[in-house]
Amino acid sequence: MLAANSETAAIDHFVSPPEGETEASSGPDDRMKLSYAAEETPSLAAGAFDMVVKLGDSKVNVYRYRDPDTGKTGYFDAEGYRLGQYLLRNPVPDGRRTSGFGNRRHPVLGYSRMHAAVDWAAPVGTPIYAAADGVVTFSGKHGGEGRMTVIDHGHGCETAYSHQSRFADGIKAGVKVRQGEVIGYVGQSGLATGPHLHYAVSVNGRKVDPMKVHFVREGRLSGTALAKFEKAVAADGGNHAAAAGV
């Protein structure tokens, strides 16, 4: 059987919400659910198990696995990528989602175009949290996006926060931030009909839907280690956690 604190340890690995904001930073429809197989997964070797990380209707199979090359245990997705922090889907805890990822008619420009972000409406001055640990690469005015901050989380993962009323003290290019740290405040600078955060996530330069589950992928198993892992995952079928009631 798994240790009773396995779930807590896994959540701590992926998320470090601001102190006292555990509930708020998760938001009403953004609760992280981890489900485990009741028994350790035999095909994944001793001490390994699979789980499903579920957020709303988006889910990812995650495997706790000991890399036979380094001897280090980590969390991996089905493709063998080592998973770091989970990106907060709602950097404005009490925000109201007013526009999702996809094509829509632009409220200001009046024509249809791709909205490669999610909009979270909230009163002017509402704090905005960094989605994960990273380094600020831009903080300034950026055309229709108004006051915008860009954070590089490493490994090709980037988040951007637009239409801010102001930046938090000390937030400028080159500064390190932690997940859950306040980086600025909601506003309607640039092309905006009302105060909201326009929140964009990119992976390797491509905009992705921020509402889907995204982890910072910290590198991939390779060679025989990857082959062994893939074989173990195939043998497991990813059904252990599913059978446990996900």
Site of interaction with Zn ion (CB under 5 A) = 117, 119, 198
**Residue 103 C-beta: closest distance to Zn ion, Å:** 13
Q: Which is nearer to Zn ion, 196 or 228 (CB)?
A: 196
Contact 107, 133 (CB under 8 A): no
Tell me whether residue 77 or residue 119 sits nearer to Zn ion (CB atom). Answer: 119
- Which own/partner contact pairs does 101-107 have at CB distance under 8 Å and 24+ positions apart? 101/208, 101/209, 101/210, 101/211, 107/193
Nearer to Zn ion, 15 or 192 (CB): 192
Total count of residues recorded for the chain: 246
Minimal distance in Å, beta carbon 17 to Zn ion? 24
> Minimum distance between the CB of residue 198 and Zn ion, rounded to whole angstroms?
3
Question: Contact 124/147 with Cβ under 8 angstroms?
Answer: no
DSSP per-residue string spanning 144-196: GG-EEEEEEEETTEEEEEEEEEEEPTT--TT-EE-TT-EEEEEB--SS-SSSE
Q: Which residues contact 169 (CB under 8 A, 6 or more apart)?
A: none
Residue whose CB is less far from Zn ion, 117 or 186:
117
Contact predicate 167/149, CB 8 Å: yes
- Closest CB to Zn ion among residues 161, 167: 161
